[in-house]
C-alpha cells in the first residue's frame, strides 16, 4: 500500500503567523483530504484537495483561512493562515487509493500549537 | 444530534475480558461503515470494515443494524495492547465524506 508522509510533525507558532503543512504520498492517488482533530475531539473534514483545481471546502472552513494546493496526484499542502490559539490542533492529511469508499489512510499528523 | 455518536468511555477492563462498544449514526443514507483504532498521539488506522452480515477478524467482531442505525464492536479476550481509542466512522452514500465519531477510549488493565 502507498506510504504517506507529512511534515512538520509538530510546530509552535505565534499568533498572526501562517504555517504550511506538506503531505507526500509515494504513489499517485485520486482522492486526498485534510482533516483537523482538536484536543479531545473527533476528526473533522476541512476540505477535499482536488488536483489542478480549487479545493472543495466543508461548511465552516474557507479558502482564505485554509488555502490548499494539490499540484499533482502525489502531493498536497495545507496552510493555516493568520493563526490564533483556537487553531491549535492536529492536522492530518489522508487519501483514498482509488475511487471506492474503502479504507482511508492517514499521515502521521501535524501537531500545531499557537501561542 | 451528532451525526455519529459514541460513548466516550473510558472503559477500564481487565486482561481477558470481553468488551463491547456501540455507535449510532443519524444519516439513513450512509453506506459504508468502519471501525478505526487511534493510539495516543498517532494517526487513526483501519481496524475493520463493517458489513451488513456482520464480520469477524480474530478477537474482533463488528455488526451493523441498518434499521436501528447502529454499529457495534466486540473485543474478546482483551490484551494490554488493545488499549487505544476506537473510532466509529461512517461514509455518507454518494460522497467521499467520512464522518468520525468522537471515539471510545479503552484501557485494558493487567
Taking CB atoms and an 8 Å cutoff, what residues of chain A touch B43? 92, 106-109
Query: What's CA A58's distance to the chain center, in Å?
Result: 13
Mind listing the pLDDT tens digit for each residue in A88-108? 999 999 998 877 778 899 999
Query: What's CA A112's distance to the chain center, in Å?
Result: 12
Position A114 confidence tier, pLDDT thresholds 50, 70, 90: very high
Q: Name beta bridge partners: B107.
A: B12
Mind listing the pLDDT tens digit for each residue in B90-99? 998 778 889 9
CB A56 within 8 A of CB A63: no
Nearest to A41 among B32, B42, B102 (CB): B102
Mind listing the pLDDT tens digit for each residue in B67-80? 999 999 999 999 99
**Which three cell numbers, joined as nine digits, stand for B93?**
452514500
Q: What pLDDT is stored for residue A41 in this prediction? A: 87
Position B105 confidence tier, pLDDT thresholds 50, 70, 90: very high
Asked if the Cβ–Cβ distance from B43 to A42 is below 8 Å, we say no
**Of B64, B66, B40, B27, which Cα lies nearest the Cα of A40?**
B40
Mind listing the pLDDT tens digit for each residue in B23-57? 999 998 888 999 999 999 899 999 999 988 889 99
Nearest to B96 among A42, A48, A103 (CB): A48
Question: Is residue A32 over pLDDT 90?
Answer: yes
**Of A74, A98, A87, A91, which Cα lies nearest the Cα of A8?**
A91
Tell me what the pLDDT averaged over chain A comes to: 93
E strands in chain A = 4-7, 10-13, 19-25, 31-37, 43-49, 56-57, 68-72, 75-80, 89-96, 105-106, 110-114
3-state secondary structure of A2: coil
Position A1 confidence tier, pLDDT thresholds 50, 70, 90: low
Q: How far apart are CA B29 and CA B27, in angstroms?
A: 5
Flag the least confident range among A17-21, B19-23, B94-98: B94-98
Tell me the C-alpha to C-alpha distance, in Å, between residue A25 and each of A65, A75, A90, A97.
24, 6, 19, 10
Q: What pLDDT is stored for residue A43 in this prediction? A: 94
Question: Is residue B103 over pLDDT 70?
Answer: yes
Neighbours of B74 (CB within 10 A): 15
How near does any CA of chain B get to the CA of A92, in Å? Answer: 8
**Which three cell numbers, joined as nine digits, stand for B76?**
474478546
Position A10 confidence tier, pLDDT thresholds 50, 70, 90: very high
Amino acid at each position: 500500500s502507498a506510504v504517506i508522509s507529512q511534515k512538520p510533525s509538530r510546530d509552535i507558532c505565534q499568533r498572526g503567523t501562517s504555517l504550511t503543512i506538506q503531505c507526500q504520498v509515494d504513489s499517485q492517488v485520486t482522492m486526498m483530504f485534510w482533516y483537523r482533530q482538536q484536543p479531545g475531539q473527533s476528526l473533522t473534514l476541512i476540505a477535499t484537495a482536488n488536483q489542478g483545481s480549487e479545493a472543495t471546502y466543508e461548511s465552516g472552513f474557507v479558502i482564505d483561512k485554509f488555502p490548499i494546493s494539490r499540484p499533482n496526484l502525489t502531493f498536497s499542502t495545507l496552510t493555516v493562515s493568520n493563526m490564533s490559539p483556537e487553531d491549535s490542533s492536529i492536522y492530518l492529511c489522508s487519501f483514498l487509493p482509488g475511487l471506492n469508499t474503502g479504507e482511508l489512510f492517514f499521515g502521521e499528523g501535524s501537531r500545531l500549537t499557537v501561542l | 444530534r451528532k451525526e455519529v455518536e459514541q460513548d466516550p468511555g473510558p472503559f477500564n477492563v481487565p486482561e481477558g475480558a470481553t468488551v463491547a462498544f456501540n455507535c449510532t449514526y443519524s444519516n439513513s443514507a450512509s453506506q459504508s461503515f468502519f471501525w478505526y483504532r487511534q493510539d495516543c498521539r498517532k494517526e487513526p488506522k483501519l481496524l475493520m470494515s463493517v458489513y451488513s452480515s456482520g464480520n469477524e477478524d480474530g478477537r474482533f467482531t463488528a455488526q451493523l443494524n441498518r434499521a436501528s442505525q447502529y454499529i457495534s464492536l466486540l473485543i474478546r479476550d482483551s490484551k494490554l495492547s488493545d488499549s487505544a481509542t476506537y473510532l466509529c466512522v461512517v461514509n455518507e452514500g454518494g460522497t467521499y465524506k467520512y464522518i468520525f465519531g468522537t471515539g471510545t477510549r479503552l484501557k485494558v488493565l493487567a
